[in-house]
Chain A
Amino acid sequence: MSESDIQVAHIAKLARLQLTPEEEAEFQTEIEAILSYVDKLQNLNVDGVEPTAHATQITNVIRDDVSGKTQDREKTLANAPDVADEVLLKVPAVLGGAH
């Protein structure tokens, strides 16, 4: 992977992270070092090896459609940044979602 393949500024934007110019430069160097290490994999000969999404060959780990225990609302809301109307998680105003 060449240097231009990854831009920390872009990744930070996608991850909603605010970085100082110093941090940006620092992480750019670090990420390039990590990627060049992973790049060694490119030297492996994988002729005839099927691509896979998983390292294991396990498939169909599936459950039956049977309902189970839910968590108490108090416990759920105790983890929320804030609570609205006693029953909703309260977050900063959002306009529109992806759905």
Chain B
Amino acid sequence: MEYEAIIGLEVHVQANTATKMFCACPNNFGSEPNTNVCPICLGYPGVLPTPNREAINKTVLAGLMLNCEIPEFSKFDRKAYWYPDMPKNYQITQYDLPFCIDGKVLVEGKALTGELEPKYIGITRIHLEEDVGKSTHAGTYTGVDYNRAGVPLMEIVSEPDMRTADEAWAYLTALRQTMQYAGVGNCDMEKGQMRCDVNISVRPVGQKEFNTKTEIKNLNSIKSVHASIDYEIERQIEMLENNEEFKQQTRGWNEASQETYVMREKEDAHDYRYFPEPDLMPVVLTADKVAEIKEKMPETPAAKRARFVEELGLPAYDAQVLCLEKATADWYETAVATGADPKKVSNWIMTELLRELSDAGLSINECPITPENLGELLGLIDKKVINGRIAKEVFAEMFKTGDAPGKIVKDKGLEQVTDTSAISEFVIQAIDNNEKAVGEYLAGKETALNFLVGQVMRFSRGKANPNLAQEALKEELAKRG
């Protein structure tokens, strides 16, 4: 029998505001434990929370980037919460009237293990809530740090539209990319700035209704999400084939063994006893206000990819790689703005620059080479001041020193030799030192010429113009033939 998986994701993203959601405590990762707290986020009696304008604006911006509708009227609610990482015993969240509804995000191109046809994944809603504190479990007790309690947290709920681990991987990648493009969240999963829960069930292809789903938690990288889905699909198919009974479960992910395990089974349906937060007034976002936020909306990653393909003539794969991070895409566009050929710039970034950066453990923002300097380097090749081989040498030097290519070429005397008399000297040297190859060429073996061109390049220390060298060689050999 053939099966398909039904996958929906709940993704939490911390908004990168200066302060917490309902109080003026700093929203800072890595501060000394329990220093970014105040009576409001500690839930002391009688305090009055007030929502953070920037957190709301960033949530709306995230929603617009994900093609959501922004309802005019939203409100906050209380949700019963019983773990000690939330000192109030409730969490302020949004129940029935969230800031963003009915969005979608495009997934396409190369995924972790395969290639995806373009497909939209629906987004049910994005609501804004407060994060909980951080618990450290020490066996006999639990230690709690409330620095994170009250940090603005966007919860992005997808439709059950994904069918494979690759689609979920691409959806998460697209979400993270979109948040980074919008500048609303840093989304470092290792720092807990982005967290993902997976809802997954499996059914025979053709069956209409959903089977009982499993929720997977403790996923701390996009790769773990992918691996846990593949594991769960196999596990659930095996259960279906053995006619085993499904109970609604929450399962954890064990990174070491690459397996999911039971965390808890749902005894009775959760009753969070939501009710409208009496301390907070509803939020009205007028069409004008939404338009104002929309005006400042940056290009979405999907729109940028499409523009790179349509306007700059890049292959889809190049566009995907360059747009992965906004900073790389910006770097690329600045280099192209110098007048350099868009595809050539892309080739240099994809084959040389990204490799150098990764070897040096640097981000594109820390790149020693400026995009203008890469543009200048390509100009030097175009104007035949240097050839491609020397250009790679100059590039490595640029990466090491941050110097402009013109300066490096001048300082090291790397200008291409186009002076024919100088080239013919190298040609004579190449011919005199390689009797065997000369003989072969004269006997009709065309490929021997390539070897001789290489020798000319060697004698010129790479500086000879290879085309001129080849012509001069042919001419000289014809005299000897």
To the question of whether A and B form a pair in one complex, the answer is yes
Which B residues are CB-close (under 8 A) to A96?
217, 252, 263-264
- Tell me whether A91 is interfacial, beta carbon within 8 Å: yes
B195 & A63 in contact (Cβ 8 Å cutoff): no
Nearest-CB residue, chain A, relative to B54: A65
Is B102 located at the chain interface by the 8 A CB criterion?
Answer: no
Q: How far is the CB of A61 from chain B (nearest CB, A)?
A: 4
Residues of A within 8 A of B56 (CB): 62
Provide the residues of chain A in CB contact with B109, threshold 8 Å: none
**Which chain A positions have C-beta within 8 A of B50?**
61-63
Looking at the complex, which one of B51, B80, B83 makes contact with A94 (CB distance below 8 Å)? B83
In the complex where A54-B278, A65-B17, A65-B19 touch, is A91 in contact with B139 (Cβ < 8 A)? no
Given that A16-B82, A63-B50 are contacting pairs, would A87 and B34 also be in contact in the complex, using a CB cutoff of 8 Å?
Answer: yes
**B54-82, CB < 8 A from A:** 54-56, 75, 80-82
Among A67, A69, A85, point to the contact of B143 (Cβ < 8 A): A85
Interface residues of A in 66-99 (CB under 8 A from B): 66-71, 73, 76-77, 79, 82, 84-85, 87-99
Interface residues on B, range: 35 or more
Contacts A65-B54, A68-B24, A70-B38; A91 near B132 (Cβ below 8 A): no
Question: Which residues from B are CB-within-8-Å of A69?
Answer: 24, 38
**Which of chain A's residues 31-78 have a Cβ closer than 8 Å to chain B?**
53-54, 56, 58-71, 73, 76-77
Give the size range of A's interface with the partner. Answer: 35 or more
Answer yes or no: B160 CB below 8 A from chain A CBs: no
A53 contacts across to B, CB distance below 8 A: 75, 97, 276, 282
Contact between chains at A67 and B24 (CB < 8 Å):
yes
Q: A90 touching B85 by the CB < 8 A rule?
A: no
CA distance A14 to B79 in the complex (A): 12
9-residue interface stretch from B25-33, B118-126, B169-177:
B25-33
Q: Which residues of B contact A95 (CB under 8 A)?
A: 137
Does B337 have its Cβ within 8 Å of any Cβ on chain A?
A: no
B36 with A99: CB separation less than 8 A: no
State the CA gap A79–B217 with chains docked (Å). 32
- B50 closest partner in A (C-beta): A63
Decide: A70 and B37 in contact? CB cutoff 8 A.
yes
Q: How far is the CA of A60 from the CA of B76 in the complex (A)?
A: 12
B12 CB → nearest A CB, Å: 7
Residues of B within 8 Å of A66, CB to CB, are: 18-19, 24
Contact of B42 among A14, A63, A64, A76 (CB under 8 A): A76
- B34 and A76 contact, CB distance less than 8 A: yes
**Structural contact, A63 and B140, CB atoms closer than 8 A:** no
Q: How far is B135's CA from A94's CA once the two chains are assembled, in angstroms?
A: 9
- Name A59's contact: one of B84, B142, B264, B282 (CB within 8 Å): B282
B227 to chain A, nearest CB (A): 20
Instruction: Judge whether B283 is part of the interface by a CB distance below 8 angstroms.
Output: yes
Which residues of chain A are within 8 angstroms of B264 by Cβ–Cβ distance? 96
What A residues does B195 contact at CB under 8 A? 99
Whether B362 sits at the interface, judged by CB under 8 Å, is: no
Report the bound CA distance from A73 to B140 in whole Å.
Answer: 24
Question: By the criterion CB–CB under 8 Å, are B284 and A60 in contact?
Answer: yes
For A60, give its contact among B24, B97, B283 (CB under 8 Å). Answer: B283
User: Shortest Cβ distance from B185 into chain A, in angstroms?
Assistant: 14
Q: Which residue of A lies closest to B75 (CB)?
A: A53
Which residues of A are in contact with B by a Cβ distance under 8 Å?
14, 16, 53-54, 56, 58-71, 73, 76-77, 79, 82, 84-85, 87-99
Question: Which residues on B are within 8 Å of A, measured CB to CB?
Answer: 12, 17-19, 23-26, 32-39, 42, 50-56, 75, 80-85, 97, 131-132, 135-146, 195, 217, 252, 263-264, 271, 273, 276, 278, 280-284
Residue contacts A-B, CB under 8 angstroms, 11 given = A59-B283, A62-B56, A62-B283, A65-B17, A67-B25, A68-B25, A70-B26, A88-B136, A89-B143, A90-B143, A97-B135
For the A-B complex with A14-B271, A67-B25, A67-B26 known, give 12 more contacts whose Cβ atoms are closer than 8 Å.
A53-B282, A63-B51, A65-B52, A65-B54, A66-B18, A68-B25, A69-B38, A70-B38, A76-B37, A88-B34, A91-B84, A98-B83
